[in-house]
A and B are shown apart, each in its own frame.
Chain A
Amino acid sequence: MASTAAQDAVFAALSDPTRRRLMTLLGEGGAATPTALAHELPVTRQAVAKHLAILTAAGLVESSRSGREVRYRLTPAPLSEAVVWMADVGAQWDERLAALGRDLDGAR
């Protein structure tokens, strides 16, 4: 996959665990309001709104207004789910390999 400015923005947006968790929640539960999302996470509604703004700027989520409510959903971009998976799994392996490196360093 060639790296483009758009993809860099996507990976930057997904470098944060809370934003990856938000993507997963939206993927599993469909559209949701920031308030509903904040109930699922250990962060405030304001923090959720900020994370959603970053995800929106990266083109990963979109919002729609119905009455006084703004709801967010994943964009239908065919790659977004795969990109989230790759960012999530990649971050987990970074942690595991770092732990392994520390273990071997400690063993000397």
Chain B
Amino acid sequence: MSDEVTRETVLPAEPAEVWRSLTDPERLAVWLGADAEIDLRPGGDLEMRTGDGETRTGWVEEAQAPSRLCFWWSAGAEVESTRVELELEQAEEGATRLRVTESRPLARLEVPARGPQMLAAR
């Protein structure tokens, strides 16, 4: 089982501009978090701080301007990494549909609340 969260929104700008908003180093703090940095090459590093002061690190799987950004991140070495996929597509003139999916293909089995049922299901 791979848990997944999806959100979709339509933004009032062309895909190229939404892409700049998503990836411009100066604007990362606006949506992603304080001190956010992303190296947009495949395998590039990602680092940011959330509002709670939690540090997240990760790496870029794929960055394809202006349509797809995919990365993995985690809140620490002991916390499972989750995968984030951002997809942009032209909605209408001057508008972009942005769809984000965060999933956790690596969901740990030892989490108590999921327990033996999940093990049996594998």
Contact = CB atoms under 8 A, between A and B. Distances in A.
Contact of B3 (A74, A76, A85, A103): A85
B31 A103 contact: yes
Contact of A86 (B3, B27, B31): B3
B105 interface: no
Given A82-B3, A94-B7, A104 B18 contact: yes
A68 interface: no
Interface stretch (B39-47, B59-67, B107-115): B107-115
Interface residues of A, number: 27
B18 to A, nearest CB: 7
Nearest to A82: B3
Interface string B1-35: 10111010101110001100110000100111000
Grouping DSSP codes into helix (H, G, I), strand (E, B) and loop, the B interface class, with mixed when no group exceeds half, is: mixed
Grouping DSSP codes into helix (H, G, I), strand (E, B) and loop, the A interface class, with mixed when no group exceeds half, is: helix
B106 interface: no
Contacts of A108: 12
A32 to B, nearest CB: 14
A82 B13 CA distance: 34
A97 B5 contact: no
Interface of A: 27, 30, 74-78, 80-82, 85-86, 89-90, 92-94, 96-97, 99-101, 103-105, 107-108
Given A97-B31, A97-B98, 8 more contacts: A82-B3, A82-B114, A85-B104, A94-B7, A99-B30, A103-B30, A107-B13, A107-B17
The 8 closest A-B pairs by CB, nearest first: A81-B113, A78-B117, A100-B31, A99-B31, A93-B7, A89-B5, A103-B30, A104-B13
Interface of B: 1, 3-5, 7, 9, 11-13, 17-18, 21-22, 27, 30-32, 50, 82, 98, 100, 102, 104, 107, 111-115, 117-118
